[in-house]
Structure 1
Amino acid sequence: MLTVRLFCAAGMSTSLLVNKMIEEANKEGKEVDIVAYPVNELDRRLDGVDVALLGPQVGYMKKKAQKIAGDAGVP
C-alpha cells in the first residue's frame, strides 16, 4: 500500500482532489491510503508516509516543506 499525505490550506477543494486520486488509483488496481491535512501539521503527520504532496494553494511553502519532509526521510 502506498501512503500519501496531501498538505494544503485545509480547503474544500483538497478533499475533492483526494477523492479523485483514490478513484484513479483504484482504477489502476493500486492500494493507496491518501489523506489531506493542513500544512501546519506537516511535521506531525509524516510517520509511515511514502510521499508528501503540497496543494497548489500552499506552493509558496515548498522549500520549507521539502526540508521538513526530507529530514523525516519522506520525498
Structure 2
Amino acid sequence: MKTIMLACAGGMSSSLLVTRMKKAMVKRNLEFNIFATGADVIPDEYRKTHPEVILIGPQVSYMLAKVKPEVDVPIAVIDSKSYGLMDGEKVLDQALAMM
C-alpha cells in the first residue's frame, strides 16, 4: 500500500487534514496509508515508513531545504489556502500529482 506523510510543527493540525484526506480517498475509492507527524522527525519517519510522498505544512516551509536532501521521494509544501481550509480533496490531489 502506498503511503503519504504529512508533517507540521507538532503533527496536530495535519492530523485533522489527514482525517479529511481519508474521507476524500474513500469517496474516490482509493486506498492509501496517510499519516501525520511532526516536522522535526521527518527523516526518522521517512526511514521507518518509506512514504511515496511527503507534504509539509506551510508553517514549517523553512524545513523543506533542510529535509529535501535527507529523503529520496517527492517533498513539497502544502498549498497555504488548502491547508488553511483543511481541504482534504485538494491536498490529496497535490499528493497524487506528486506520485
- Show CA shifts across 1:40-59 (max 9, x none): 11111113211111011101
Between the two proteins, the alignment pairs up a number of residues equal to 72
The alignment's C-alpha RMSD in Å is 1.4
Q: Structure 2: how far apart are the matches of 1:56 and 1:8? A: 8
| Helix, strand or coil at the partner of 1:66 | helix
Equivalence for 1:38? 38
Q: Give the CA deviation at 1:2.
A: 2.2
Structure 2 unaligned blocks of 5 or more: 75-99
State the percentage of identical aligned residues. 39
Structure 1 unaligned blocks of 5 or more: none
The TM-score, its normalising length taken from structure 1, stands at 0.83
| Aligned structure 1 segments of 4 or more residues deviating by more than 4 angstroms | none
Higher relative contact order (CA 8 A, sep 6+): 1
Q: Quick check: which one's strand share is greater? A: 1
The TM-score, its normalising length taken from structure 2, stands at 0.65
Q: How does 1:10-49 map to 2 (within 5 A)?
A: 10-47=10-47, 48-49=50-51
Give the direction of change, closer, same or farther, for the CA distance of 1:11–1:74 in structure 2 (3 Å limit). closer
